Structure 1
Amino acid sequence: MGRLFGTDGVRGVANADLTAELALGLSVAAAHVLAEAGTFAGHRATAVVGRDPRASGEFLEAAVVAGLASAGVDVLRVGVLPTPAVAHLTGALGADLGVMLSASHNAMPDNGIKFFARGGHKLADELEDRIESVYAEHRTGAPWDRPTGAGVGRVRDYDEGLDQYVAHLVGVLPNRLDGLKIVLDEAHGAASRVSPEAFARAGAELVTIGAVPDGLNINDGCGSTHLDLLKAAVVEHGADLGIAHDGDADRCLAVDHTGAEVDGDQILAVLALAMRERDALRSDTVVATVMSNLGFRLAMEREGIRFAQTGVGDRYVLEEMKQHGYALGGEQSGHVIILDHATTGDGTLTGLMLAARVAQTGRTLRDLASVMERLPQVLVNVPDVDKSRVTTSAELAAAVSEAERELGSTGRVLLRPSGTEPLVRVMVEAADIEQARSVAGRLADVVKSALG
């Protein structure tokens, strides 16, 4: 059995890779491991369980709830809510763990399981490894220690979760959104009820698209991975800006009033300046990954804001933030963490904060985002290759070295295996877009030949 946990939980095709049996077994293993780690501290444990609206989430939720209850864990079932809502409620309700069923931005056939520890924080790598190990041990025949009678967990629906989470979001805004017209694209996902409710309570006039999930249409041609519908809607309705989420609403991308995309780097830049202005940007530092555009770093340096860099993945951004006490971090893809108000990336919170800055300054989002100039950056995904050999292939290393010599100090190359999909990402940044495309295309061909 290969490693189950990737950079963002366990993910795969539902009912093929991610089965009910696997979901049940991992949930039981998680309960045992967290109990052994002292997380439950001798008391009866409680878990918050939520999901996005994928059809497969219905049977996977049943399996997770059954596994937890069979291990003696009481379950609060919050239904369809965003990943950051489950994380928030895990902390706010004093639960011992949280479980979210979602494959985020992936297509509908996929699903995934994310575990949160007490306080709503993602599990440390060593705990994930231990859960896998315990699951594997019992999968091969070692029996579980199962409670009986009154020792089994109890299950109840917690319908107050949505209102509690929305109240939290609106309550942390620095100012209201009155006077703004905003288009929201909910990706037919987990925030289809939450996000419109939060923006409406904050005072915005709304146009909502992609907010009718049927279990099969999540991320289908809409949301943060498909911005064309949002761009068109913003222009058609004369909106001030548009906000797009992914399936589980842990990320946010935006569109300005002209229909131009505002990516995660630009959002981070706008929020960094806003937070510094109100003395909320601790150590005047923002955290971002190696995938961030060079233009972002140059803009932060020009504005006197320090830049801390991490590997790709919001968990690494979060680790850096927690270790040094920073308040803001994120990724170009739209995962933005505002640590004073969330323990993970929160797309609805990010969108609200971005809109609040527009409302507070009276400036357009286009003007605010112009604080940074995006240098041409080309990203090519190369599927169906052996991503484990990215760092060991001599042929690939030679091609990268040649590309870096060609680009010189005006560009850079980054190759990395996807943490959630069977592909390698080739990123090339250059002063000229045609040069970036040419170099990226050549490198993608080498990846195919060397790792295919």
Structure 2
Amino acid sequence: MGRLFGTDGVRGVANADLTAELALGLSVAAAHVLAEAGTFAGHRPTAVVGRDPRASGEFLEAAVVAGLASAGVDVLRVGVLPTPAVAYLTGALGADLGVMLSASHNAMPDNGIKFFARGGHKLADELEDRIEQVYEQHRTGEPWDRPTGAGVGRVKEYDEGFDKYVAHLIAVLPNRLDGLRIVLDEAHGAASRVSPEAFTRAGAEVVTIGAEPDGLNINDGCGSTHLGLLKAAVVEHGADLGIAHDGDADRCLAVDAAGEEVDGDQILAVLALAMREAGTLRGDTVVATVMSNLGFKLAMEREGVELVQTAVGDRYVLEAMKEKGYALGGEQSGHVIVLDHATTGDGTLTGLMLAARIAATGRSLADLAGVMERLPQVLVNVRDVDKSRVTTSAELSQAVAEAERELGATGRVLLRPS
């Protein structure tokens, strides 16, 4: 069996790769592993479980809840909420783990399972590996201790999660959004209720598109992976900006008043300068991946902000932030982590903070995002090659060096064996 966990949980086609049996078994294994790791520390464990609106999330949620309860874990079902909301509630409610059912920006037939440890933090690789090991032991017939009677977990609906999360978002905003007209594209996803409510409570005039999930239309021609509808809506409604989320709302991309895209690098640049001005950008440092646009790196150098770069993946950004105590990091794709207020990328929070900067300065999004110039960036996938040569081939290294000499200070070549 290959490794089940990828860069962001376990994903696959629901009811084909990701079955109810797999979801149940992984949940039992996660309960046992986290207990062994001391997470449950001698008390009756509790889990927060949420999902995005995919139709398959209904039966997968039932399987996860059954697995956790059968392992003696009390379950708080929060229903359809964004991934960062489940992470926040896991920490805010003192739960021992959180589970989110979502395949993020993937198409509707896919789904996924993300586990959060106590505090709402993603699991380390070693814990994921241990969960897989225990799952495989149970799957092949090794018995596990099953509680009975009063020892089984209880399942409760936690309807307060929606208001608790929205209140958290409003509380961390530096200023209100009064006077701004904002178009929100919710990708028919998990933030379809949360995001419009948060922006409205913060004072913005809100126009909403892509906020009618039916279980089948998530990410379908809308959201952060399809910005065409948002661009048109921003221009049509004369809005100050548009915000686009993906299916589980851990991403945020933006559109300025002219309908031009503002990507994750530009959003990071705007927030980095705002946080430095407020004294909250610890070490005057921002963390991003090696895939960030060179224009972002040059802009940060010019503005006196240090840039720490990591491997591709928001988990690596988060690891670097936690290790050094940095406050801001993210990816070009729109995963932005503000560590003082979230333990993972939070698209709604990112959009609110971006809008707050516009409201506070009176400057347009295009003007603020102009702090960096997006330099041309070409991504080429090369198939059927020996990936190990990326780090071992002298001939390849020489070719890269020659190309970079031709490009000079405003160009670079990045090779990734992915």
Q: Which range, TM-score by smaller chain?
A: over 0.9
Give the structure 2 partner of residue 421 of structure 1.
none
* Pair 1:194-2:191 in alignment: no
Give the structure 1 partner of residue 92 of structure 2.
92
Pairwise mapping of residues 63-78 of structure 1 onto structure 2 (< 5 A)?
63-78=63-78
Which AA in structure 2 matches 1:84?
P
The alignment partner of 1:63 has SS state of helix
> Alpha-carbon deviation of 1:96?
0.2
Of 397, 402, 411, which residue of structure 1 is paired with 2:399?
402
TM-score, normalised to structure 2, is 0.96
| Aligned equivalents of 1:379, 1:167: Cα separation in 2 | 40
Quickly say closer, same or farther: Cα 1:44–1:178, change in 2 above 3 A.
Answer: same
Query: Which sections of structure 1, spanning at least 5 residues, go unmatched?
Result: 418-423, 425-452
* Pair 1:36-2:36 in alignment: yes
Pairwise mapping of residues 307-346 of structure 1 onto structure 2 (< 5 A)?
307-346=307-346
> Alpha-carbon deviation of 1:378?
1.7
The alignment partner of 1:192 has SS state of coil
| Aligned equivalents of 2:107, 2:380: Cα separation in 1 | 19
Quickly say closer, same or farther: Cα 1:259–1:400, change in 2 above 3 A.
Answer: farther
More deviation, 73-82/393-402 = 393-402
Give the structure 2 partner of residue 390 of structure 1.
387
Give the structure 1 partner of residue 163 of structure 2.
163
The alignment partner of 2:3 has SS state of coil
The alignment partner of 1:5 has SS state of coil
Which AA in structure 2 matches 1:368?
L
Is the CA contact (8 Å cut-off) linking 2:327 and 2:339 kept in structure 1?
Answer: yes
| Aligned equivalents of 1:271, 1:170: Cα separation in 2 | 17
Any idea what the Cα deviations from partners look like across 1:60-92, whole Å, max 9, x if unmatched?
A: 000000000000000000000000000000000
Give the structure 2 partner of residue 437 of structure 1.
none
Is the CA contact (8 Å cut-off) linking 2:88 and 2:342 kept in structure 1?
Answer: yes
Any idea what the Cα deviations from partners look like across 1:324-361, whole Å, max 9, x if unmatched?
A: 11100000000000001000000000000000000000
| Aligned equivalents of 2:257, 2:361: Cα separation in 1 | 15
| Aligned equivalents of 2:265, 2:74: Cα separation in 1 | 40
Give the structure 1 partner of residue 216 of structure 2.
216
> Alpha-carbon deviation of 1:143?
1.0
Give the structure 1 partner of residue 263 of structure 2.
263
Quickly say closer, same or farther: Cα 1:293–1:201, change in 2 above 3 A.
Answer: same
* Pair 1:377-2:377 in alignment: yes
* Pair 1:124-2:124 in alignment: yes
Q: Compare the two structures and name the one with the higher strand fraction.
A: 1
TM-score, normalised to structure 1, is 0.89
Is the CA contact (8 Å cut-off) linking 1:400 and 1:413 kept in structure 2?
Answer: no
The alignment partner of 1:44 has SS state of coil
State the identity %. Answer: 85
The alignment partner of 2:378 has SS state of strand
> Alpha-carbon deviation of 1:405?
2.3
Give the structure 1 partner of residue 4 of structure 2.
4
| Aligned equivalents of 2:2, 2:15: Cα separation in 1 | 18
Is the CA contact (8 Å cut-off) linking 1:87 and 1:120 kept in structure 2?
Answer: yes
Is the CA contact (8 Å cut-off) linking 1:35 and 1:41 kept in structure 2?
Answer: yes
> Alpha-carbon deviation of 1:379?
2.5
Give the structure 2 partner of residue 359 of structure 1.
359
Which AA in structure 2 matches 1:92?
A
Which AA in structure 1 matches 2:165?
Y
> Alpha-carbon deviation of 1:406?
2.7
Which AA in structure 1 matches 2:361?
T
Is the CA contact (8 Å cut-off) linking 1:404 and 1:412 kept in structure 2?
Answer: no
Superposition CA RMSD, Å: 1.7
Which AA in structure 1 matches 2:145?
D
Is the CA contact (8 Å cut-off) linking 1:390 and 1:415 kept in structure 2?
Answer: no
- Runs of 4+ aligned structure 1 residues displaced above 2 Å come to 379-382, 389-417
| Aligned equivalents of 1:401, 1:254: Cα separation in 2 | 39
Quickly say closer, same or farther: Cα 1:214–1:262, change in 2 above 3 A.
Answer: same
Is the CA contact (8 Å cut-off) linking 1:271 and 1:353 kept in structure 2?
Answer: yes
Quickly say closer, same or farther: Cα 1:87–1:397, change in 2 above 3 A.
Answer: farther
Quickly say closer, same or farther: Cα 1:18–1:386, change in 2 above 3 A.
Answer: farther
Which AA in structure 2 matches 1:390?
K
The alignment partner of 2:129 has SS state of helix
> Alpha-carbon deviation of 1:398?
5.2
Quickly say closer, same or farther: Cα 1:150–1:394, change in 2 above 3 A.
Answer: closer
| Aligned equivalents of 1:276, 1:377: Cα separation in 2 | 28
Give the structure 1 partner of residue 151 of structure 2.
151
> Alpha-carbon deviation of 1:413?
2.8
Which AA in structure 2 matches 1:338?
V
Is the CA contact (8 Å cut-off) linking 2:77 and 2:155 kept in structure 1?
Answer: yes
